[in-house]
Amino acid sequence: MHDLLITGLLIVCLFLFLGSGVWIGLTLSGVAWIAMQMFVSRPAGDAMAVTIWGSSSSWTLTALPLFIWMGEILFRTRLSEDMFKGLAPWLQGLPGRLLHTNVVGCAIFAAVSGSSAATCATIGKMTLPELTRRGYPEAMVIGTLAGSGTLGLLIPPSIIMIVYGVAAEVSISKLFIAGVFPGILLSALFSGYVVLWSLRNPERIPMADTEPSLLEKLKASRSLIPVLLLISAVLGSIYAGIATATEAAGLGVVGALVLSLLQGTLTLSSFKASLLGATRLYCMIALILAGAAFLTLSMGYLGLPRHLAEWIGSLDLSRFALVLALLLFYMLLGCFLDGISMVVLTMGVIMPTVQAAGIDPIWFGIFIVFVVEMAQITPPVGFNLFVLQGMTGRQLTYVARVTMPFFGLMIVALLILYFIPGIATWLPSQMKL
């Protein structure tokens, strides 16, 4: 009963701070400080200083600002335009035609970005006007873009995977590799849905342009070479065991700068804008991570994670029931918090329970990425929805409604992943470490 009262008090404090507009990172630190001050004998100030310094100076975390910077550099290049030119000739013959450029384009850009919003915005700034001009149905254009934009979190390198890896103390390189097959699975489901929808509504898909010859297709594919080389350098170096995630991130930044220079988009102003954009985003994430580390420490002193794990254990849930309960919990949480906050806020409490249930932490990392992806397209705080609302001028409710089929497909992918866990765990087990 005592633990229940303490937990209730801290949750009330948390929502009071969040509701009053205090930054999430400061809210987490504030709640942790209150918990330490009121219920623990160790001095709160000392614990805060040691924990925040320890979490902020982690070498593993170095990969995060580098991958963010790489994404910011590429966001300011002509990458989306080149990708559209390279993909369009190959996708014209499929049912749904150029709608597939959203899915395939997002999947490719996701492999050199770590952000769902950046993936959505970069591909959208080219495909939205182009597909609308050609007469493709707006609902499907927006829906495929919102859904496929979430691949930015699943296909490595992924910001959320780095955050989870640091919070749960799991190999980031293995998490990256674990995301490859689930990313392909989700892309295939999205494209499959586009094919089925197009076969049922053939009159709503514009006629194809003249069918290009094989030589023309190959010539257009030259536009894809730079981005494919960058993907090979970043992911190939990790998979081959040549580089750690941090070293691969450094390689990615150099590759992005070279690509930008060759395209003629690297100017002093674009360089400064990318650097400032990455700094702002990383500072926000670092503050949240530092606050979460302090909150996790205070929860540990109070024994709340252990008590919660024992309580869930006493319910005698099957593994499937536990995963289902966690899915519902994170879906609810995703209606109010962004993905990074969801992960760092819950890992200290959820991880002991997951480990006690015998769930592979690598598989659980991919599960977490899936539920965070769902949060990206869940009102009222789904970030991809806001991005597309700004780009299309449509109401948030409309954007959310046309995205719902893709939300459903994510749940289907998660069920497939549960019953065939090797989709996520086989490739990391083959890694040379």
**Is the per-residue pLDDT at 118 higher than 80?**
no
Rounded Cα gap, residues 22 and 2, in angstroms: 28
Contact, 166 vs 289, CB < 8 A?
Answer: yes
HSE toward the beta carbon, residue 148, CA cutoff 13 A:
33
Token digits for 323? 């995963």
Tokens of 134: 């050609």
What pLDDT sits at residue 418? 93
Please answer whether residues 349 and 306 qualify as being in contact, where contact means their C-beta atoms are separated by less than 8 angstroms. Answer: no
The counts of H helices and E strands in the chain are: 23, 0
Residue in the block written with tokens 């001050």: 37
Q: What is the pLDDT of residue 409?
A: 93
Q: Extract the tokens encoding 409.
A: 């497909």
- Would the pLDDT of 198 be above 80? yes
- Both tokens of 292, joined, read 């979460």
Alpha carbons within 13 angstroms on the beta-carbon side of residue 391 total 25
Contact 338, 146 (CB under 8 A): no
Across the chain, mean pLDDT equals 81
For residue 136, name the pLDDT band (cuts at 50, 70, 90).
Answer: confident
Considering the entire predicted model, what is its pTM?
Answer: 0.78
Average pLDDT for residues 47-67, to the nearest whole number? 75
The pLDDT value recorded for residue 272 is 92
Tell me the pLDDT band of 308, cut-offs 50, 70 and 90. Answer: low
DSSP H stretches of helix in 240-395: 245-263, 268-302, 304-314, 319-333, 339-356, 361-376, 383-392
Contact (CB, 8 A) for 151 and 413: no
**Arithmetic mean of pLDDT, 407-425:** 93
**Lowest-pLDDT range, 39-48, 218-227, 365-374, 406-415?**
39-48
More confident residue, 178 or 67: 178
Q: Give residue for tokens 């010859």.
A: 213
